[in-house]
Amino acid sequence: MTNQNVVVQAITVAAVANSPPLFTYPPPRTSGSSAAAAIPKKYLSPVDLGGGWTNGWLEAIKASSPTHAKSALLSAPAVESEQDEQSTWIMRHPSALSKFEQITSATKGKQIVMFLDYDGTLSPIVDDPDSAFMSDTMRAAVKKVARLFPTAIVSGRCRSRVYEFVRLTELYYAGSHGMDIKVPKGTRYTKKKKAVLFQPASEFLPLMNEIHKALLETTRSIPGAKVENNKFCVSVHFRCVDETCWGVLVEQVVSLLKSHPELRLTQGRKVLEIRPTIKWDKGKALEFLLKSLGFADNKNVVPIYIGDDHTDEDAFKVLRDRGQGIGILVSEYPKDTNASYSLKEPYEVMEFLLHLVEWKRHSLKARSEE
């Protein structure tokens, strides 16, 4: 056993010993009039895994659907109109494009480190998760960014699958919500002679494979359900499932987890995800990558994290708690978030990345002419 494996195993054991409860709190249904009041609690107590929790999760996934959220706002006697709510939210989380000069002013003379989610950020959300391809123009933009700044992809997807989509060797990849991280050897920012592979949930791999097979079998009767094995995370996609079947699907997932207290259920965009209960997430992955790059305690480093999902909030929160870094949420609709800025869709993400490239090139040129 290598020294690295010893360290990883020790972290895994310690994390499991201090693991949180089974279920992460799903997003609450709100009118959107008070973002501060709607910030969710981090964990639910796993006291009751019966119909109560099933109904709670069903209501949560309905509330998180843009069409449901919109209809709820229109039908409820809301104090503010939908347009007013959008305007209020934009004031709190302005566009990273309209505030680009403000962002670059805060990063002038400092080292930017880029962190990018994949689905919904670099690629559009599609019905078939196997078809979530990024455009060639987006790939070119990310490649340009990576030439100027250390850049990492942090995704809930399996790391190897994300690499198949992105196909850029100059990036750092963190898959399975940061539970599978690879730092290449001998990069511009790391001088390590060997690649670093960090998998704090490695002992859960046999169980995750077992859960994947079980869910494939139990969800077979539900048209449109798709189960994806993301190595240290099993994702159950219901984007193509008729809403009348959502309750049955949730019940099947919850029922399976009753006998596995070492696993927890989280929710993304039209997806339920089963993960180990270790205290590791995208925020922890961000911190690990900063440390691997030698930037952990550097006050002249500005991490920029761009993501669209509920799971990206862990990274946004880390940046906010550090008081160092910029979180950018990708969303067309108002959401409770720890991010400081927003972008509406992947096209705007690409525009922001290209603006950043041009700004950096101009800065380098101006410096060379001094």
Residues forming the active site: 117
The tokens for 103 are: 């962002």
- Other beta carbons within 10 angstroms of residue 207's beta carbon come to 17
305 in Cβ contact with 299 (< 8 Å)? no
CA-CA distances (angstroms) from residue 160 to 111, 182, 231, 283? 28, 10, 9, 20
